[in-house]
Structures are given as structure tokens and as C-alpha cells.
């Protein structure tokens, strides 16, 4: 499976279609192969990807909800807040 993943990655990195669009294999590429090896049905891959992201989505939603200025979150914002916070 690892050999297959590496060959696929090499093919993607050498392909003009992917290069012209600056598309590269990311963690989801390898996660999908891992799910496949674990026997998880392919129609559940999206669900599995989402499960790992839910805590971050909830944290972002809470931050937006608690913003006193009601600003809209922008995907290219850079977090400048404290690096350590107490979880209560």
C-alpha cells in the first residue's frame, strides 16, 4: 500500500494538470489509503475526514459567536491571540 501511495504521489507531482493548478497530495490523500487498508467503506471516507475536523469547526464557531463585534470570519485570517489558554 505504501508503494502504491508513493507511485501515485510521484504521478501527481509530475502531472501538468496538477502542477498548473498547484495541487499536491495532502494528508487526506494518505488518510484515504489508510482507511481503505482498514476496511472502511469508501462511502464513509468523507464522514471519517469530517469527524477529525469537528473539534476545530466547533472552536471556530464558538470564537465567532463570542466576538463582541460580530465580525465575519475570513479563511485567510492569521490568529494573533494567546498561544496558551485555560480550558474551562
Q: Which has the higher per-residue pLDDT, 78 or 65? A: 65
Tens of pLDDT along 16-73?
999 999 888 888 888 888 999 999 999 999 999 999 899 999 998 898 888 888 777 7
Residues in the chain: 88
Cα–Cα separations (whole angstroms), residue 61 to 47, 54, 64, 65? 19, 10, 5, 6
pLDDT at 77 over 70: no
Cα 61 to chain centroid distance, Å, stands at 17
Amino acid at each position: 500500500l505504501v508503494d502504491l501511495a508513493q507511485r501515485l504521489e510521484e504521478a501527481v507531482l509530475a502531472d501538468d494538470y496538477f502542477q498548473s493548478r498547484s495541487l499536491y497530495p495532502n494528508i487526506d490523500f494518505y488518510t484515504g489509503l489508510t482507511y481503505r487498508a482498514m476496511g472502511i467503506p469508501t462511502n464513509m471516507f468523507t464522514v471519517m475526514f469530517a469527524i477529525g475536523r469537528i473539534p476545530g469547526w466547533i472552536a471556530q464557531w464558538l470564537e465567532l459567536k463570542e466576538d463582541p463585534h460580530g465580525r465575519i470570519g475570513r479563511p485567510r485570517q492569521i490568529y494573533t491571540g494567546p498561544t496558551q489558554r485555560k480550558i474551562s
